[in-house]
């Protein structure tokens, strides 16, 4: 899973030459193999490194504050989202829905590395949501749909159907 994601990320970043990855430990933490010295360990470390490698520093945030927010979401992804308990999913979606109410992207006014990484991490969760739940977390759904319409983001993942017109109009916001 994480390895496919990293290869998608490479494409998103426009990196031509694929890197070699392996995993370590029970949680299958990704490792970027390097020819010289020890590899880079962990999704956040690797993603940050790849972005710098691709010379797209704006994707890490274009101001000090934005860079902090990007890092916050990368951290959120690995500490809160990955491997979260089933009962936590609703809380995560609820929080994210509130956060995205006044935002199109997770950090700043343009796409950053946080967006595709959160999209990859949330994909299996959104896939499993029922229609009325997608409506309940409307801002998450809108953001998710926007992400999956970036052809460079959605490489290895199937599209998720999103309804434009609400079915359960009496439901939540």
Partner 1 sequence: MAAGTLYTYPENWRAFKAQIAAQYSGAKLKVASTPPAFSFGQTNRTPAFLSNFPTGKVPAYQGDDGFCLTESNAIAYYLCSDALRGTSPQASAQVLQWVSFADADIVPSASAWVFPTLGIMQFNKQATEQAKEEMKRALAYLNQHLNTRTFLVGERVSLADITVACSLLWAYKQVLEPAFRQAYPNVNRWFVTCINQPQFKTVLGEVKLCEKMAQFDAKKFTDVQPKKDTPPKEKKGGKEGKKEKKEDKKKEEKKAAAPAAEEMDECEVALAAEPKTKDPYAHLPKSPFVMDEFKRKYSNEDTLTVALPHFWEHFDREGYSIWYGEYRFPKELTQTFMSCNLISGMFQRLDRLRKTAFASMILFGTNNNSTISGIWVFRGQDLAFPLSDDWQIDYESYAWRKLEVDSEECKTMVKEYFAWEGDFKHVGMPISQGKIFK
Contact residues toward partner 1 (CB under 8 A) are 101-105, 108-110, 138, 141-143, 145-146, 149-150, 162-166
3-state secondary structure at position 32: strand
- Minimum CB separation of residue 103 from partner 1 in Å reads 6
Cβ atoms < 10 Å from Cβ of 140: 26
| Minimum CB distance to partner 1 smaller for 73 or for 144 | 144
Minimum CB separation from partner 1 for residue 129, in Å? Answer: 14
CB of 101 to partner 1, least distance (A): 6
The CB-of-17 to partner 1 minimum distance in angstroms stands at 29
> For partner 1, which is the closer residue by CB, 18 or 159?
159
CB distance 49 to 39 below 8 Å: no
Q: Which residues of 66-92 are buried (b: 16+ CB within 10 A; e: fewer)?
A: bbebbbebbebbbeebeeeeeeebeeb
The tokens for 13 are: 């970043």
Nearest approach in angstroms of CB 146 to partner 1 is: 4
- Of 75 and 101, which has the nearer Cβ to partner 1? 101
Q: Which is nearer to partner 1, 19 or 62 (CB)?
A: 62
Question: What SS3 state is found at 30?
Answer: strand
Angle between helices 2-13 and 114-127 (to 10 degrees): 140
- Which residue's CB is nearer to partner 1, number 108 or number 121? 108
Q: How far apart are CA 146 and CA 133, in angstroms?
A: 18
Whether 99 and 43 have beta carbons less than 8 Å apart is answered as no
């Amino acid at each position: 899973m994480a390895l496919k994601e990293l290869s998608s990320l490479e494409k998103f970043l426009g990196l031509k030459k694929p890197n070699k990855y392996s995993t370590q430990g029970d949680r299958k933490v990704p490792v970027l193999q390097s020819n010289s010295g020890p590899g880079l360990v962990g999704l956040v470390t690797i993603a940050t490194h790849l972005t710098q490698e691709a010379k797209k520093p704006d994707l890490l945030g274009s101001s000090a504050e934005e860079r902090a927010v990007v890092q916050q979401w990368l951290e959120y992804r690995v500490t809160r989202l990955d491997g979260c308990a089933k009962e936590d999913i609703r809380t995560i979606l609820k929080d994210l829905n509130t956060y995205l109410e006044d935002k199109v992207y997770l950090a700043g006014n343009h796409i950053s590395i946080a967006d595709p990484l959160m999209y990859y991490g949330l994909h299996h969760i959104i896939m499993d949501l029922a229609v009325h739940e997608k409506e309940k977390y409307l801002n998450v759904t809108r953001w998710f749909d926007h992400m999956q319409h970036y052809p460079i983001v959605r490489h290895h993942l199937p599209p998720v159907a999103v309804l434009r017109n609400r079915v359960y109009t009496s439901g939540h916001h």
